[in-house]
Amino acid sequence: MDANIVVMGMESVGKSALTVRLLTRRFIGEYGDIESIYSHSFIVDGRAVTLNIWDSHYSQDFSADSSLFEKKVRWADGFVLVYSICDRASFNTVSWLIQTIKSNKDCLSTDKVPIVIVGNKRDLHHRRTVTSEEGRLLALNTHCQFYEVSAAENYHSVLMVFHGLVDRLKDAKLTT
């Protein structure tokens, strides 16, 4: 299976940290602002999967030029929407992104757009401002999958996010 994935969310929520964690299994700490598309192959349930992962830049998605945003949404088969559990504004942004993506994706059933919501920085629980329950509820109401992870502390949880998305992609039958 081959699929295009875009990682979106406000700045500093950990989009690059998640992407780099998947690709290298490592947490580096600082990632800069480079926007890239990475190709990553792995095995899910005995099947080879190749994901083209666009680690996208926040400012581009919310600039006046919405055509770039639309292009990105058209390109993508699936979405990883990231917020920080310490940043309520980033949670609200994910909620907004879900609506915007769904209104841009012209599929028959918008409930089937493969979207995974990720609450990152779980290790910073002492600074938490968004509860797990709120994340779960948002996912339930929008027919998305939900994970809370720490890109900093846990490779396995990050891997689960992308495995979850692959499952959603299969369900949506966007790819075979």
Binding stretches for ligand GDP (CB under 6 A): 9, 11-17, 29-31, 120-121, 123-124, 150-152
Helices (H), the chain: 15-24, 58-61, 66-75, 88-104, 132-142, 155-172
CB 66 within 8 A of CB 100: no
Q: End-to-end distance of the chain based on CA atoms, in angstroms?
A: 6
Residue with smaller CB distance to ligand GDP, 17 or 165: 17
Residue with smaller CB distance to Mg ion, 28 or 137: 28
Query: Which option in Mg ion, ligand GDP, none does residue 138 bind, with CB closer than 5 to 8 A by kind?
Result: none
Residue 64 CB, shortest distance to ligand GDP, in Å, is 20
Q: Which two tokens stand for residue 79?
A: 């979405």
Mask for 15-54, x = binds Mg ion (CB under 5 A): xx--------------------------------------
Ramachandran area for residue 37 (φ above 0: left; ψ -120 to 50: alpha; else beta): beta
What does DSSP assign to residue 51?
E
Residue with smaller CB distance to Mg ion, 8 or 169: 8
| Under rule CB under 5 A, residue 157 binds Mg ion | no
Residues 6 or more apart in contact with residue 63 via CB below 8 angstroms: none
Residue with smaller CB distance to ligand GDP, 78 or 174: 78
Residues 6 or more apart in contact with residue 99 via CB below 8 angstroms: none
Q: How many residues bind Mg ion (CB under 5 A)?
A: 2
Residue 55 CB, shortest distance to ligand GDP, in Å, is 7
Question: Which residues contribute to the site for Mg ion (CB under 5 A)?
Answer: 15-16
